């Protein structure tokens, strides 16, 4: 069975500092990895997905199959980045296609 681990429940940085939210996964097949973000009093929304290889709001994430990691990074954190971040994995095919397995979430706080 697949599993997603976010080792840090809480992460605090100062504005302008680099930030890295860790995500490790276990899955025997070829996964699709996502980062979702939930701002205060808002619904969960997609931040980025690994296949797009894009940068959203300054965040990037690279899938490292050797280390089974998909860490989220931003070189200069902003106060508006404060939120709950979830790493999620989806199977790439089969009957479970599209189902998401979420990590435990990391609360990021960016101090002024």
Which stretches of the chain bind other proteins, using CB under 8 A? 9, 32, 42-46, 49, 51, 86, 90, 95, 98-105
Using an 8 Å Cβ cutoff, are 68 and 55 in contact?
Answer: no
Cβ 102 to other proteins shortest distance, Å? 5
Phi/psi at 28 (5° precision): -80, -20
If the CB atoms of residues 68 and 92 are measured against other proteins, the closer one turns out to be 92
In angstroms, what is the minimal distance from the CB of 73 to other proteins? 21
Between 15 and 99, CB nearer to other proteins? 99
* SS3 (DSSP) at 37: strand
d(CA 58, CA 1): 32
């Amino acid at each position: 069975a697949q599993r997603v681990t976010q080792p840090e429940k809480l992460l605090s940085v100062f504005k302008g500092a680099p930030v890295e939210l860790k995500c490790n996964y276990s899955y025997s097949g070829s996964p699709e990895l996502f980062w979702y973000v939930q701002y205060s009093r808002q619904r969960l929304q997609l931040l980025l997905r690994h296949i797009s290889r894009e940068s959203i709001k300054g965040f990037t994430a690279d899938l490292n199959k050797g280390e089974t990691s998909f860490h989220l990074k931003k070189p200069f954190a902003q106060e508006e980045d404060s939120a709950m971040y979830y790493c999620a994995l989806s199977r790439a095919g089969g009957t479970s296609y599209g189902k998401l397995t979420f990590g435990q979430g990391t609360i990021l706080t960016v101090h002024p």
